[in-house]
Amino acid sequence: MTTFDKREQGFEAKFAHDEELMFKAAARSNKLLGLWAAGELGLSGDAASAYATALVTDNLGNQTIVQTLNKVSDDLAAKGISREQVAQKVQECLHQALAQLEAASRQAS
């Protein structure tokens, strides 16, 4: 195996790792966003969990972050929560999800 082949394998492995990390972060972020939104909607228990799970599973069907943002914004509009507030919460949830995954990765090492 040549040095070039080894470098190529290394880049492919890093790409696969990064893609897996982003997939996990997006799923976790949507779950956190869904739980927050459910609370704002007055949902609790199984109803809150179902709302959050729906955001995660919808994202698995190639839903973009913009579509998720639009759905949650539409759901919360009647509660007086602006799209900008939801967008800010999306960012917070993504940062929180990445921090959780990083912490879990450090513990596993």
Distance CA 78, CA 93 (A): 22
Distance CA 78, CA 42 (A): 12
Average pLDDT over residues 44-48: 96
Distance CA 7, CA 22 (A): 22
Q: pLDDT by residue (tens digit) across 11-24? A: 888 888 778 888 88
Answer with the residue of higher pLDDT: 4 or 64.
64
Would you state the pLDDT for residue 58? 82
27 and 56 in contact (C-beta within 8 Å)? yes
Would you state the pLDDT for residue 22? 85
* Token reading at 79: 């509660």
Average pLDDT over residues 34-43: 97
Q: What pTM, to 2 d.p., does this model score?
A: 0.83
Helices (DSSP H) in the chain: which residue ranges?
3-40, 45-60, 65-76, 83-108
Q: At what angle do helices 3-40 and 65-76 cross, to 10 degrees?
A: 10
Q: pLDDT by residue (tens digit) across 71-97? A: 999 999 999 999 999 999 999 999 999
On the question of pLDDT at 61 being above 70, the answer is no
CA Rg, the chain, in Å?
A: 17
